Structure 1
């Protein structure tokens, strides 16, 4: 890898997966420790003025964007300001910016898969904030890759997978939507995709723009929950859990969560040669790490 790579957010689950997979291929990252209050406009300005990497992967706010159950508007406002400044700095210093985004920029009103050409119409606060960040980066920093991801699964105790397992332990019963669809993607798979993109960019290929990625086999939260619990039982003793189907409209997050969130991944396959992987194969290492951390 000729490019000097900087990773903001190396301490979160996706950042750790990226560092670990990069090390296997002798790809290293500059992964600065964030300030106590987190990355903001001032600290990002100082960091990039001092280091000036060739490419920057922005996972600084990964947990809020992909795992947290709720995030306040003020936090998103601060993050939008930081991302705007980051885009300005990358453009000024000639740094390639790789920025993750989400299926949440769509409203979920169509039953077929969303392509990069489909119009964004975010429902909730998180989707609206991510959409504004996307627009900001496109306007300011032409040398960018925006990577929209499906349902990201990681090994954090407060993430999507962790909350599901804790609810199963406490309640003994789960109600999960069976009429909501999307693409699960474990963090190890997302890290693989990011590395594949970086390798192509390292060859000076000007492949800027927006791309979608989600795991192979679109599915429902009900099916994902069943698969997680079945795999978890193979790794440790767990109480019996009943899983019941629930309508999307009856879910507490129905007003913010797209009902249909399947992403079409043809563009990233045709451009970077990235093939979707079956999300089920990524559950075992994910759960193994989760139980070890627990």
Structure 2
């Protein structure tokens, strides 16, 4: 790797996966420790004025954007301002910006897979904030890659997967939507994709733009949950005995979560040669890592 790489959010689950997989491929990141109050416009300005990397992966707010249970409007507003400043700094210093985003920029009203050409119509606060961040990055910094991920799940102790498993340990019955579909995407697979993109950008290929990635084999929330529980039972005793189907419209998060969230990954395959991996193959290692740290 000829480029000097910076990773904001190296302590996040996705950041740790990127560092771990990068080390195996002899790819190193400068991963600065965030200020106690988190990255903001002023601290980002000082950081990039002093370091000036060639490319930057922005996972500074990964948990809020991808794993937090409830979105915080004030935090999102501050993060939007910080990312806008980050894009300005990347423009000023000629830095490539790899910015993650999400299927949540779509409203889930169509049953077919979303491509990069489809117009975003976010439902909830999180999707709306991510869409504004995308627009900001796109308008300010020409050297950007916006990478929209499917259903990201990781081994963090306060993430989506952890909350589900903790419920399964104490409740005998769970309900999941059988008519809500998406691309489950293990955190290691998402990290693999980011590294593959960086490798090609390192070859000075001007492949800027927006790309989709999600694990192979779209699944319903019910099917995904059943697969997770099947693997989890090899690690611990679960209280849950029944997993019942429930309509998407009856779910408490139906107003914010897209019902149909399947992403088409043709563009990233045709542009970068990145093939989707089956999400089921990533479950054993992920859950093994999760239970080792519970």
Q: Who is 2:176 aligned against? A: 176
Structure 1 residues 230-287: Cα deviation after superposition (integer angstroms, max 9, x where no partner): 0011233333431000110001110011000000000000000000000011111111
Give the deviation of 1:220 after TM superposition. Answer: 0.8
Structure 1 residues 156-213: Cα deviation after superposition (integer angstroms, max 9, x where no partner): 1211110110011111211000000000000000000000000000000000000000
| Distance of 1:187 and 1:169 partners within structure 2 | 23
Q: Who is 2:21 aligned against? A: 21
| Distance of 1:10 and 1:129 partners within structure 2 | 22
The answer as to whether partners of 2:80 and 2:132 remain within 8 angstroms in 1 is yes
The answer as to whether partners of 2:152 and 2:184 remain within 8 angstroms in 1 is yes
In structure 1, stretches of 5+ residues that fail to align are none
Alignment partner of 1:256 is 2:286:
no
Q: Who is 1:141 aligned against? A: 141
Q: Who is 2:65 aligned against? A: 65
TM-score by length of 2: 0.99
Structure 1 residues 123-146: Cα deviation after superposition (integer angstroms, max 9, x where no partner): 100000000000000100010000
Q: Who is 1:99 aligned against? A: 99
Following TM superposition, where does structure 1 have runs of at least 4 consecutive aligned residues deviating by more than 6 angstroms?
none
| Distance of 1:150 and 1:74 partners within structure 2 | 25
| Distance of 2:68 and 2:158 partners within structure 1 | 7
Q: Who is 2:120 aligned against? A: 120
Secondary structure at the aligned position of 2:148 is classed as strand
Count of residue correspondences:
294
Q: Who is 1:220 aligned against? A: 220
Q: Who is 2:287 aligned against? A: 287
| Distance of 2:164 and 2:157 partners within structure 1 | 10
In structure 2, stretches of 5+ residues that fail to align are none
| Distance of 2:77 and 2:4 partners within structure 1 | 30
What do you get for the CA RMSD once the two structures are aligned? Answer: 0.7
